[in-house]
Chain A
Amino acid sequence: MSITGTTTPRFARGMRLREDPARARWVVVGPERLFVPDDIALEILRLLDGTRRVDAIVDELAARYAAPRDAIAADVLALLTDLHAKGVLTA
């Protein structure tokens, strides 16, 4: 299954987005896994609430940054597809 505008991605069971206070950053922790999102990825991951569809996430970010929707959509899909393949997200 691939990620499209109409999928509703969420964190897979056992994957948690949390603060890492000792290193002043946010991380996704899972079993034997640790992902350190960059600032853009973190903005995207914070919008995953299990109800928002990819389209809605793109709309939100395009509005927030007054940026072209196509460019945002490409970034969002690339990130979500990658994290889905790595088992961090389910859709």
Chain B
Amino acid sequence: MTPPAPLGLLAELTHRCPLRCPYCSNPTELSRASAELDTETWGRVFREAAALGVLQLHLSGGEPAARRDLPEIVAHATAAGLYSNLITSGVLLDAARLKVLARAGLDHVQLSVQDAEETSADRISGLRGGHARKLAFARAVHEADLPLTLNAVVHRQNLDRLGDLIELATTLGATRLEVAHVQYYGWALRNRDALLPSRAQLEAATETVTTARVTLKGRLVIDYVVPDYYARRPKACMGGWGRSFIAVSPAGRVLPCHAAESLPGFDFLNVRDASLSEIWTHSDAFQRYRGTGWMPEPCRGCDRREIDWGGCRCQAFALTGNATNTDPACALSADHHLLDLAVQDAAVAGGNFTYREMGPTIATG
């Protein structure tokens, strides 16, 4: 059976990053700079992706601007006809470098902020002065006439300032705000006790978003999803495994989701060895959880199996030790109580972070 054509490609250009966020979504095992794909290979990957049906390209990492060849990479995306979205921390890009990217055809910028309050933001990112640099970068985005999305990862230690984050988004001229709850696998799982919000915080946040959506209608679009730990049904992770999304790691491994490298028992093929089309259509990794045939109960007989596609494989593995299990975020999962236990543990835990440390390999622009 031929799978549907993918719509989105996440190009993780590097794992290098000057930030040390305690919820970092990169795998705990990082690729070295020397293992990164070169400019021309990314160009070929983009052309193969466009031919396969991909429309949107997300240039991410790590911090993609840690790559000196970012303008050439963007130019390759433009030549391939892909809509390019730069997902950045903003701390390595100044106005001059951003203009070069705009001239290369960059379509959109997504800037992360860690909080609306500077001291807290810098503490969370682990980079002193980082927040101020982000604000300066946002102004440069505006001056370059590029559209801006602000991305805020939220958790117990910043959720009470969600209203301020929304205000920051409008002040910075963003037309879209993505409020993303931390997803607890990889590094974030190690910091779960310090990050999980309380139900009261969550209800207040939902209220804040609901109100702001009305008052800011037509000015700011707010993307917000209730976090798994308080949900009754899981998310359709990546829109379903191998259904609409491809990620390519810095070293060239092709993944159904950027976190999938954390799953054991997979041999993820590399763009150096096979075409994107071959990997998407035929590889064991993409076939394994595609569709519904792999599902155990209660997913197998569930009328939502083609809505949520069983949820997130990485979360199933991280919490139950078996990636084939139903995502414990589902109330029908035999392991659903694990989430309630985590919420109870976090309620009495402190707020200290375990930061991840990177090698000294950050390029400056």
Q: Is the CB of A86 within 8 A of B55?
A: no
Q: In the complex, which residues of chain A have a beta carbon less than 8 angstroms from the beta carbon of B52?
A: 22
A30 within 8 Å of B (CB atoms): yes
A62 within 8 Å of B (CB atoms): no
Pick out which of these stretches binds chain B: A9-17, A37-45, A70-78.
A9-17
Q: Is the CB of A22 within 8 A of B53?
A: yes
Q: Is the CB of B108 within 8 A of A14?
A: yes
For the complex, count residues of A whose C-beta is within 8 A of B.
19
**Shortest distance between the CB of A1 and any CB in chain B (Å):** 6
Contact of B83 among A1, A12, A22, A29 (CB under 8 A): A29
A68 within 8 Å of B (CB atoms): no
Q: Is the CB of B5 within 8 A of A23?
A: yes
B56 within 8 Å of A (CB atoms): yes
Residues 49-91 of chain A, each 1 if its beta carbon lies under 8 Å from chain B, else 0:
0000000000000000000000000000000000011110000
Q: In the complex, which residues of chain B have a beta carbon less than 8 angstroms from the beta carbon of A27?
A: 55
For the complex, count residues of B whose C-beta is within 8 A of A.
24
Q: Is the CB of B175 within 8 A of A13?
A: yes
Instruction: Determine the main DSSP class of A at the interface with B.
Output: mixed
B340 within 8 Å of A (CB atoms): no
B221 within 8 Å of A (CB atoms): yes
CA of A86 to CA of B213, assembled, Å: 11
Q: In the complex, which residues of chain B have a beta carbon less than 8 angstroms from the beta carbon of A1?
A: 218
Contact of B149 among A18, A23, A31, A84 (CB under 8 A): A31
Centre residue among A32, A84, A85 by max chain B CB count within 10 A = A32
**Shortest distance between the CB of B112 and any CB in chain A (Å):** 14
Residues 38-77 of chain B, each 1 if its beta carbon lies under 8 Å from chain A, else 0:
0000000000000111011000000000000000000000
CA of A65 to CA of B272, assembled, Å: 53
Q: Given A12-B147, A30-B147, 13 more contacts at CB 8 Å?
A: A1-B218, A14-B107, A14-B108, A18-B55, A20-B55, A22-B52, A23-B53, A31-B149, A32-B176, A85-B217, A87-B175, A87-B176, A87-B221
What are the 6 tightest A-B residue pairs by CB atom distance, in nearest-first order?
A14-B147, A22-B53, A13-B147, A87-B221, A31-B108, A14-B108
Can you offer 18 A-B residue contacts whose CB atoms are under 8 A?
A1-B218, A13-B146, A13-B175, A20-B53, A22-B5, A22-B51, A22-B53, A23-B53, A27-B55, A29-B56, A30-B83, A30-B147, A31-B85, A31-B147, A31-B149, A34-B55, A34-B56, A87-B221
